Amino acid sequence: MRLNADDLLVNTYGAERIRMVRGKGCTLWDASGKSYLDFFGGIAVNALGYGNKAIAKVAAKQYQKLSHVSNLYTTEPAVRLADAILKHQPIPNRTYERLFFSNSGAEANEAALKFAAICIQKEGNRAPYFASFQNAFHGRTFLTLSLTSQKKYRTMYEGIFPPTLTLPYNDPSALHKKLTPDVGAVIVEVVQGEGGVRSLSSACALLLNRLCNSNNIILIADEVQTGMGRTGTVYASEGARLKPDIITIAKPLGGGLPLAATLVTKRIHTHITPAIHGTTFGGGPVQCAVACEVWARVTAPSFLHSVQHASGILDDALVHLASNCTVIKELRGVGLLRGIQLADDVDVSQVIAQLRTAGLLVIPSGDGVIRLAPPLTIKKADIRNAVDILHAVFRTYKATT
Ligand code: PLP
């Protein structure tokens, strides 16, 4: 009898999903042997693609040497990784002095918010009052969910959240009005990964820097999806000229193993003392050994250059596609995080199912948007094949709006 996920797992992901069995580069194979071009990389996780033998070797070697010791001890891979991450300081006038390892994007943001809460209280006896943006997604723990505005994720839990402020995205006059000294910290995505692939305007990034500075508000950049080369720079904050006090990274860091980091400036770190926060698994030696390899690769200037090059090819191909497919309403995104907004009357989940049948895996983002987040190692031929499949499916739709 074939075991069925639907009979065994809590029903948080809907109907039975395709059972994937192996991957190589940008291609995945399911249990029936059908292959798929993966254009969302395990939700922006698989930066180096599937089946990387060098990474597999690092993981196996470290597992045999030392797998888990808890955070009552430290390990050589964790120290080496922290050093590599903190050596890279690309944001002008911001130095990230320390970092905290955890296991997921939500945990990295939860740590950021808890550290910010401590700092806010210690600095000025203010209550920790947090702000985030419309359509933001920061995770599914209670604190991060309280700052995630999309209704579908939070409606069932309303009433349990602490009071928060939701700011409109890319609205300078609202920022001026609402980002007052009452706000203790604000968390922002430079590109909203789950919220429609909208990018923070440079006017708003600069205004956020200015208002946070003058009102003593802690600025947190959630780079869980955008960090580590996705937008063509190590941090998307670099391109946007955002100057966060705290940066969180996660998805690609562990090369597919769970690992995240919360980077803090001295202002924040000064207030952190033992027992304030912690984790059993965060920063384990196997994840960190793998992450050292991933970090070294994705932060190499030649690698970032290749991401920028691939992103230019993808951009050109999408612009050409949009000129031939009336169903495309708008193109969004930066680097290798792209959004295709379809006409209002189109059922995006149906389009995604058709693309999957045709051998291309993509995911939705917000309302009516198809998100592309392929491995950062994507090749020109894969981009061409993906865009051919998009074209074949999109041309069966006509825009009526
Ligand atoms: N923040 C952002 C910007 C994300 O895109 C995500 C996940 O998609 C998260 C936080 C939550 O990460 P995780 O699912 O690893 O908890």
Of ligand 1's listed atoms, the one at least distance from the Cα of 107 is: 16
Amino acid at 336: L
Residue 290 corresponds to which tokens in the numbers above? 């793998």
Place of tokens 């700052």: 147
Across the beta sheet with 363-364, what order do the strands follow? Answer: 328-334, 337-342, 369-372, 363-364
Q: Is 224 in the pocket of ligand 1 (CB under 6 A)?
A: yes
Residue nearest to atom 1 of ligand 1 (CA): 138
Quote the pLDDT of residue 15: 73
Length of the chain (residues): 401
Distance 64 CA to ligand 1 centre (A): 30
Q: Is 225 in the pocket of ligand 1 (CB under 6 A)?
A: yes
Cβ atoms within 10 A of the Cβ of 73, count? 9
Q: Is 193 in the pocket of ligand 1 (CB under 6 A)?
A: yes
Q: Residues 383, 313: contact at Cβ < 8 Å? A: yes
Quote the pLDDT of residue 126: 83
Residue 305 corresponds to which tokens in the numbers above? 């250059």
Q: Is 132 in the pocket of ligand 1 (CB under 6 A)?
A: no
Quote the pLDDT of residue 242: 98
For residue 40, CA distances in Å to 28, 46, 74, 171 come to: 11, 9, 34, 29
Distance 346 CA to ligand 1 centre (A): 26
For residue 106, CA distances in Å to 146, 221, 222 come to: 12, 13, 10
Of ligand 1's listed atoms, the one at least distance from the Cα of 189 is: 3
Quote the pLDDT of residue 4: 85
Contacts for 219 with CB less than 8 Å, ≥ 6 apart? 185, 186, 188, 208, 209, 212, 242, 243, 244, 245, 246
Of ligand 1's listed atoms, the one at least distance from the Cα of 106 is: 16
Of the candidates 370, 229, 356, the one whose C-alpha atom is nearest the C-alpha of residue 297 is 229
Q: Is 139 in the pocket of ligand 1 (CB under 6 A)?
A: yes
Quote the pLDDT of residue 3: 83
Quote the pLDDT of residue 127: 83
Q: For the purposes of burial, counting CB atoms within 10 Å of the CB of 291, is it exposed (0-12), middle (13-18) or buried (19 or more)?
A: buried
Q: Residues 157, 140: contact at Cβ < 8 Å? A: no
Handedness of CA 194, 196, 198, 204 (dihedral sign): negative
Q: Is 222 in the pocket of ligand 1 (CB under 6 A)?
A: yes
Distance 11 CA to ligand 1 centre (A): 20
3-class state of residue 93 by DSSP: coil
Q: Is 194 in the pocket of ligand 1 (CB under 6 A)?
A: yes
Distance of alpha carbon 243 from alpha carbon 94, whole angstroms: 7
Run means of pLDDT, 10 residues per run, the chain, 401 residues: 82 86 97 97 97 97 98 97 98 97 98 97 88 97 95 91 96 97 97 97 97 97 98 98 98 98 97 96 98 98 98 98 97 98 96 97 96 98 98 88 53
Quote the pLDDT of residue 176: 96
Q: Residues 70, 280: contact at Cβ < 8 Å? A: yes
**Secondary element (H or E) of residue 338:** strand 337-342
Distance of alpha carbon 374 from alpha carbon 382, whole angstroms: 10
Place of tokens 């994507």: 378
Distance 105 CA to ligand 1 centre (A): 4
**Secondary element (H or E) of residue 209:** helix 202-214
Distance of alpha carbon 161 from alpha carbon 78, whole angstroms: 34
Distance 113 CA to ligand 1 centre (A): 14
Distance of alpha carbon 306 from alpha carbon 296, whole angstroms: 15
Distance 185 CA to ligand 1 centre (A): 19
Quote the pLDDT of residue 178: 97
Of the candidates 220, 149, 237, the one whose C-alpha atom is nearest the C-alpha of residue 183 is 220
